[in-house]
Every structure is written in C-alpha cells, then in structure tokens.
Amino acid sequence: LFCGTLPSGRVHALEAGACATCDSQLAPGWHHLAAVRRKERLEIYVDGRLAGESGIAGDFDIDNGCPLTIGRGAQGSFNGRIRDVRLYARGLSAAEVERLSGE
C-alpha cells in the first residue's frame, strides 16, 4: 500500500495496480492523510474526509521481503515533514479516520 503526493500536488494511494486519487490540490500547510484497505476497496482520506476510492480485486500478499519505505516512492522523495506514521493490522472505519485526523 502506498500513499503519496504527485508532482502536481495531488494525493494518491496505490496497491497492486489499484489507485485512489484526490483530484484537487491541497492547500499549503499540514494535512492528515490516510490510505485504508477495507475488504475490496482502497480509500484515501484527506483531513478525515473521504477524497477518493477504488475497487480492488482479491487479496494482496504484502510479505514480499522488501523493506517498509516512508517518504520515498517512484516519483521521488517527499519534500516536507511527516509528523506521525501509524500502521494498523486492519482497515479503519471512516469514523476512526475522522477522529484520528483531529489528533
């Protein structure tokens, strides 16, 4: 699962070919981003609100032996600050994402 910003400033999430994007640019400043895999849906939240979603076909095994990378992707490295990173063993509900965005 990957969540990041494109050079255009748009936010996107990827998983094994599925892509969910937020099609508007983010205003300057801090934002809470969450990428959630729940059942057969990939969802991306910006500041606690659903900003994009996509369908996913079947399960995806993330045990590929590659290291977890934060702040770097195919488009290059993230240029900014990351205040907090959290990984969960389950997909969060929309209410949980909204609550976490206020922390």
Q: How many CA atoms lie within 13 A of 78 on its CB side?
A: 15
The reported pLDDT for the residue numbered 101 is 94
Q: What tokens were used for 48?
A: 């606690």
User: So what's the pLDDT on residue 37?
Assistant: 82
pLDDT confidence of residue 16? 58
Round the CA-based radius of gyration of the chain to a whole number and report it.
13
- The count of other CB atoms within 10 Å of the CB of residue 36 is 23
Q: Output the pLDDT for position 20.
A: 72
* The two structure tokens encoding residue 47: 């500041």
Cβ atoms within 10 Å, residue 30:
9
The stretches in the chain having pLDDT less than 70 are 1-18, 58-64, 73-75
Task: State the pTM of this model.
Answer: 0.75
Residue spans of the domains in the chain: they are 2-98
pLDDT at position 78 is 74
pLDDT for position 96 = 97
Residue 48: the pLDDT is: 95
Interatomic CA distance for residues 12 and 35, integer angstroms: 9
